[in-house]
Structure 1
């Protein structure tokens, strides 16, 4: 009999990774990342991988795709199940850690998605529509998606493409019916709004000083189209626009900071929605010591 899945989640800059590592070390667990952008190789500072934080704790689903690729929910669920089975086969506990609410909730819902092919005709019909228009269309469809992980038009078009496919293929939609996990423990890192905003601002400037602009410049020079980097949103969107001359440095920094704050707010909206949809989250304060956080988490599990 497998042990309950442990999830550690929360908004960006709340310190999830450090907490997951501390808990993993205490209970003999390995970590599976639930971050939709940390799957890409060479996208390190912009996605906040902070690999040094893991130390001797194995982490899965980071650096598994080349930059420029468009990893999707179907692939994540497939790869999560593979990693989970591998970890459990070695007698280890599993901690799912990350802030991509769509990924976390899909695992908790027990979704098994069929692969959805591209629909060129649909994509052509949606070209030119604004992100607001696409998001509005998406909100009217029967979908798990919301605007949390859809911050560019291309991502919104892909989400619409998936839902359109399900509408035309009822058998595929039935395969995607959820089978919720009954033995998962979800722990959220609770951080107040002002502390979150301060940490986001400090982290952004720290990463810029550490070479985040050079990271994106290298990705562009390696042949990855600007449009593909813009697709990833946030840091890669704003830094690409700066490097291609569409924004000044001040516009890039100011716009990016606002966008990350807005992203964190959308994450919290998603987590509150998860609780309303029947997935309780046990919130623990972000400023607990590692030992105290781990002790409280162990009581919950």
Structure 2
């Protein structure tokens, strides 16, 4: 409903702007004296400065909130270039305005728009686990291959003991199902995804039993992993943390909390840098659920 209303508003605005633009083209004078000229331009540049500063701060932290701000900054730069050139067309500074527009303002606007697009596309793709995903997870070969990533095919074959052709076939299947991608230099890397649990009620018969068994096995593995972590907690040194709390939230607030968590994970999971000796692989979990009514936590 909201999407339909928004699209209607956008389409309606586009239609209404046609006669309005024609009207302005026939009624506006070529020259117009106005006050507050200095205030208007200084205020515009102050707003542009704030957009640059805030966008840089958000962009460095890979916050998705930077996307609309970078887009707005790009639009403001294009407006700045347009009015600088048009309003200074008959002045002695015309060529300076044109040079700034062509070589500074418009290129920077394009770079900001591309940066916004990159931040927008860097979010982890979200989808629900399918029966095909369950099938891949049940095949130990795919687990062996994905554990060795990032690596080239030959290196994965050497580490896992699988034949090269078998590894190549596994990688192709994983790529076709959105789990891995091939980098420019030929190595394979995992694709971070936000995989949602399937609902057994969405399936019938044997498929429903298979989904239920998958979820049972998943949570059994989670319990086993947490039990192992509790037994070895003194061995992790500074590389472990455990926190819990209880709070009351509306469903909307809960969804906001979940979205912020996924944004945080995406920000740290998709950083573009080479692995270093100081890094460690960490298992991260996020669970939230209503406790038993009689529980005291």
Higher relative contact order (CA closer than 8 Å, sequence separation 6+): 1
Looking at secondary structure, tell me which structure has more strand per residue. 1
- Of structures 1 and 2, the larger Rg is shown by 2
Looking at secondary structure, tell me which structure has more helix per residue. 2
Please classify the TM superposition score into its range, dividing by the shorter chain length.
under 0.3
Question: How does the TM-score come out when normalised to structure 1?
Answer: 0.23
